[in-house]
Structure 1
Amino acid sequence: MTGSAAPVAIAVRGLTKRFGGRTVVDNFDMTVPRGSIYGFLGPNGSGKTTTIRMMCGLLTPDGGGGTCLGFDILTQSLQIRERVGYMTQRFSLYEDLTVRENLDFIARMYRMPRRAEKLDRTLASIGLADRAGQLAGTLSGGWKQRLALAACMIHEPELLLLDEPTAGVDPKARRDFWDEIHRLSDRGVTVLVSTHYMDEAVQCDHIAYIAYGRKLISGQPHRIPAMTGLSMWRVEGPGVTAALEASLRAEPGVSQVARFGAILHVAGTDREALDRVAARYGAQGDQEWTREPPGLEDAFIHLMARIPDNFAEGARP
């Protein structure tokens, strides 16, 4: 490795996992720079959680291998686990223990010295000092989220795994959570986060789209739409109707039509054919057509339409 090369937290090749005859992760490759925030986007059941757990030595793959934090994911999983914090999608702490008791339990598991001092610092840093004696089960969703993050960070891991961390919390709590994630990244913590929120994807340094166990594309969020080769027109006005949607879907050059409220995104990979459609419909005067660069959600819809569902009825096991 040259001196200018970025240090790597995770490097895996060919990761494959099967459950019940189904391939749920299929020949997955990934390199994650240290200190980065890496997002995994995909629908529910797409293999995001399974992939992340294999990459970090928490689940043994059926094929492939690699390293995490410099350790082999097949033979050194214990060393990896000691250096990883894992926040599950569902709140998994003890609801009949107080905030402080939950954190103290985790600190005891990691045999941390000077626990009381560490707990005080942790509670203060995440704004839970005034709620230290409150039962965890009585916290709101946003406060539970903070507690869960504190629990998986109390042993100061090098790598943080977040599985759909903001599901079910309000927008302010989501914003506060992501502010904290960026602070951790600035301190050198590598973060892997699975999500299906496009507005969270732009918070990441890198993202990968995963569907049905396969990586469709990966890169920096602002570069992903261009990598798909999509062109797009935004359509709005009184003429935006279900009949217009149906008509556009039948046009050559149109590969997808997505409705966003009273607006349509009409996209395709054949730019010239799409432009002809836009010129013809725009000349009718019932809608306003504006060329617009595609966004992450447009790219995601496009990619999802191109890959078969490996869990569909009759799909090959």
Structure 2
Amino acid sequence: MSISISHISKSYKKVNALKDISFEVEAGELFGLIGPDGAGKTTLFRILTTLLIANEGTATVAGFDVVVEYKNIRKSVGYMPGKFSLYQDLTVAENLNFFATIFGTTVEENYDLIKDIYVQIEPFKDRRAGKLSGGMKQKLALCCALIHKPKVLFLDEPTTGVDPVSRKEFWEMLKRLQLKGITILVSTPYMDEAALCDRIALIQDGKILEIDTPEAIVRHYPKAIYNVKANNMYQLIKSLNDYEHNHSVYPFGEYVHYTDRRTDFNPKELLQYLESNNLSAIEIEPTVATIEDTFMELAK
């Protein structure tokens, strides 16, 4: 077991950031912690990387207790915080050499681990880190987190604010790192990224809602779900929310995801209701649930 968390709770004065959190991450697994801002993801990461101490509970990382053996954990893990935290007045090369020196290694010694990532930023090795684009900062931070060949890699919302192409490239890099035997725990507010993990934990208000594979979590969605579209999105959402039989109504791209309280729901009834609310060009089609739908249902 690479990460083991047992009944972890953490409070900041009157705010309960984490409430009785328990789960395990297998060695070599790519595990996702999925939830919105303020759900408790960063607090949990800081406890696991020995930057915070929990009020209650225990945890181990790479076989070491996060309190008693914190020095061993710091040598065994890589941590990429959500906010870019490298030295912005140092160049790319200087940052990388600095972090290698801290861990008593060299860039050359572990170059095989970062090669696929570093070749993309090498043309900018003499540029100051503060002058890099968001995607390049992300790649540099990942290189620095990997330079000492960690057993476990913690990535706290690594793709927030990064363009879609860089996000895709980043997840491809994570898959390659996983093949090298590194255990990866990544947090993200993006539900579409959850599908790229082996298993995920959905977290909201400091509580774990569900833990399973992305496929199993979607499969457990309890109701039939429909894509609904009309000529006026604002009026459509208002009308659906006012409909006496609605169970849930959520905007989803150009559609609204709708579920009904009744087991014998007839879309024709909903069509007639929407037409009576002066809506036109109405489309009502069954669709499959997503992780986002499941999260919203569990969080209700």
TM-score, length of structure 2 as denominator length:
0.89
Q: In 1, distance between residues paired with 2:193 and 2:4?
A: 24
Q: In 1, distance between residues paired with 2:141 and 2:291?
A: 29
Per the TM alignment, residue 129 of structure 1 is displaced from its structure 2 partner at its CA by 2.6
Q: Which whole-Å deviations, capped at 9, do the CAs of 1:48-107 have from their partners, x for residues lacking one?
A: 111122234432111011322112223112211211100011111111111111111101
Q: In 1, distance between residues paired with 2:40 and 2:48?
A: 12
Secondary structure of 1:272 counterpart: coil
Counterpart of 1:313 in structure 2 is: none
Counterpart of 2:248 in structure 1 is: 256
Secondary structure of 2:59 counterpart: strand
**Is the contact between residue 100 and residue 107 of structure 2 (CA under 8 Å) also seen in structure 1?**
no
**Is the contact between residue 152 and residue 182 of structure 2 (CA under 8 Å) also seen in structure 1?**
yes
Counterpart of 1:281 in structure 2 is: 270
One-letter amino acid of the counterpart of residue 217, structure 2: I
Distance 1:50 1:282, change over 3 A: same
More divergent stretch after superposition (195-204 vs 225-234): 225-234
Instruction: Say which of 255, 258, 263 aligns to 1:272.
Output: 263
Q: Which whole-Å deviations, capped at 9, do the CAs of 1:107-132 have from their partners, x for residues lacking one?
A: 111111xx252376567432133222
Superposed counterparts of 1:7-86, under 5 Å: 8-86=1-79
Q: In 1, distance between residues paired with 2:142 and 2:183?
A: 14
Q: Which whole-Å deviations, capped at 9, do the CAs of 1:263-299 have from their partners, x for residues lacking one?
A: 111025x4505x24x2412367752222222111112
Does residue 89 in structure 1 map to residue 56 in structure 2? no
**Is the contact between residue 71 and residue 79 of structure 1 (CA under 8 Å) also seen in structure 2?**
yes
Q: In 1, distance between residues paired with 2:262 and 2:69?
A: 50
Per the TM alignment, residue 34 of structure 1 is displaced from its structure 2 partner at its CA by 1.1
Q: Which whole-Å deviations, capped at 9, do the CAs of 1:132-176 have from their partners, x for residues lacking one?
A: 222212211111111000000000001111111111221111111
What value does the CA root-mean-square deviation take over the aligned residues? 2.1
Q: In 2, distance between residues paired with 1:241 and 1:172?
A: 29
Q: Which whole-Å deviations, capped at 9, do the CAs of 1:22-64 have from their partners, x for residues lacking one?
A: 2110000111111111111111111111112223443211101
Per the TM alignment, residue 246 of structure 1 is displaced from its structure 2 partner at its CA by 2.6
Counterpart of 1:117 in structure 2 is: 108
Question: Unmatched 5+ residue regions in structure 1?
Answer: 1-7, 307-317
Distance 1:122 1:94, change over 3 A: farther
Identity of aligned residues (%): 36
**Is the contact between residue 93 and residue 148 of structure 1 (CA under 8 Å) also seen in structure 2?**
yes
Per the TM alignment, residue 252 of structure 1 is displaced from its structure 2 partner at its CA by 4.7
One-letter amino acid of the counterpart of residue 272, structure 1: T
Question: Unmatched 5+ residue regions in structure 2?
Answer: none
Q: Which whole-Å deviations, capped at 9, do the CAs of 1:194-250 have from their partners, x for residues lacking one?
A: 111122111111111111111111211122133342331111244x54334333224
- Number of equivalent positions: 292
Instruction: Say which of 132, 136, 146 aligns to 1:143.
Output: 136
**Is the contact between residue 103 and residue 119 of structure 1 (CA under 8 Å) also seen in structure 2?**
no
